[in-house]
Amino acid sequence: MKSIGFIPLRAGSKGIPGKNKKKLLGRPLFCWALSAAIASTLEDVYIYTDDEDILAFVKKEYHWTTKVHAVKRLASNATDTASTESAMADFIRDEDPDFEVFCLLQATSPFTTSKDINLCLQQLQEGKDSAMTVVKTHRFTWNADGTPQNYDLYKRPRRQDFEGLLLENGAVYLTLKEKWFESKNRVSGDIGLVHMPEDSLTEIDSLTDWSIVEQLLAERLKWKKGNAPISHLILDVDGVFTDGCVYFGADGELMKKFDMRDGMGLEILRQQNIKVMVMTSEDSPIVASRMKKLKIDDVFMGVKDKFSLLSRIAHDRQLSFSSMAYIGDDVNDLANICAVGWSFTPANATAAVKNHADVILQHESAAGAIREACGFIERYNQRFRE
């Protein structure tokens, strides 16, 4: 059965302006659900939005996969009162996509993983008409008239004896094509349920919610860290290789400051068969020239979603995040900082990155920070050789 993913986004947001493209742990919010969809067994994924910035971002950042498609959303169903079902209906009518299974993914659910999507797909393969993700909660609920809904007030059950309630978490909804045309609803018929962790129930309606979700997401990435020898070192450029400053003239960028000692540290790591990569959001001829001088072949420039690229590299080269080290200094490095086996940040990095990095280096960028990190990795890998 051909399955497609659908992520509807609106440019307007009252609670948190620009919410869908606001950076959550250094990435636009919608990228978390999109990355999960790409990694799943869905065959195509459609971003449906009226936001021109997001359309341009998707076309630029996800050019490497034929799976992702950016489609302009109709203004008529991008209003505050438009329903998700109306967006689905307009998309299916206007784009006429080829599918047997339609998967609705909510961008406001950044905890969604490819496994959650695949488990929902499995429900349909096993005979269900549709499927959705739920969370089991052990909260006691009450009616407005002061009476309990789901337990005996005078026989309060212990948590371990209480079955609890299943709540929709709004993350993933799947339906067979024929069931959609029968009901025009995201789920109908015989509905399968897929359980997700309770923290995925947190909704992002305010900046307070945003902070809570960002912290939970960071902790989830960190929990996956494992112990392994470092085989790959990935580095940001500005604020890591350089001091974060750039000198401009009438003809544009003139020069950046680099530290020669950093080059020696990277050379020592390469002699120990540690692969060095560079990942930067800028697209600078000066950087390209410097990396060529340092004999670094894997140089990725103009990258805005660094975690997506790092995940793709890990998948394509069959690498574990635990075998990677990363050096970054600003918010667009945060997801990578939280995910890799060892993360480093220069002494003059932003506070947000210092709060999550494994090691805050004693040296500043362009003043020995990379050389210091190389020494740490060399000593760390020694224990595995011993």
Query: d(Cα 309, Cα 60) in Å, to the nearest integer?
Result: 12
Mean pLDDT over residues 283-312, rounded? 92
What pLDDT score does 125 carry?
A: 96
* Identity of the residue numbered 81: T
Confidence of residue 333 (pLDDT cuts 50, 70, 90): very high
Query: d(Cα 288, Cα 141) in Å, to the nearest integer?
Result: 59
% of the chain exceeding 90 in pLDDT:
79
Sort strands 165-176 and 191-195 into parallel, antiparallel or unpaired: unpaired
The dihedral sign for the CA sequence 170, 175, 177, 180 = negative
Instruction: For the chain, give the longest Cα–Cα distance.
Output: 79
Contacts of residue 160, Cβ cutoff 8 Å, sequence gap at least 6? none
* Terminal-residue alpha carbon distance, the chain: 51
Answer yes or no: are the C-beta atoms of 370 and 264 closer than 8 Å.
no
Q: Residue 191: pLDDT above 70?
A: yes
Domains of the chain are 3-223 (3.90.550.10), 232-385 (3.40.50.1000)
Tokens 């003059």 belong to which residue? 348
* Identity of the residue numbered 121: L
For residue 170, give both structure tokens: 């709004």
Contacts of residue 55, Cβ cutoff 8 Å, sequence gap at least 6? 47, 49, 70, 72
% of the chain exceeding 70 in pLDDT:
99
pLDDT digits (tens, 9 = 90+) for 348-377: 999 999 999 999 999 999 999 999 999 999
What pLDDT score does 385 carry?
A: 81
Mean pLDDT over residues 38-55, rounded? 96
Q: Residue 165: pLDDT above 90?
A: no
For residue 125, give both structure tokens: 């393969």
Contacts of residue 310, Cβ cutoff 8 Å, sequence gap at least 6? 234, 279, 321, 324, 326, 336, 339, 340
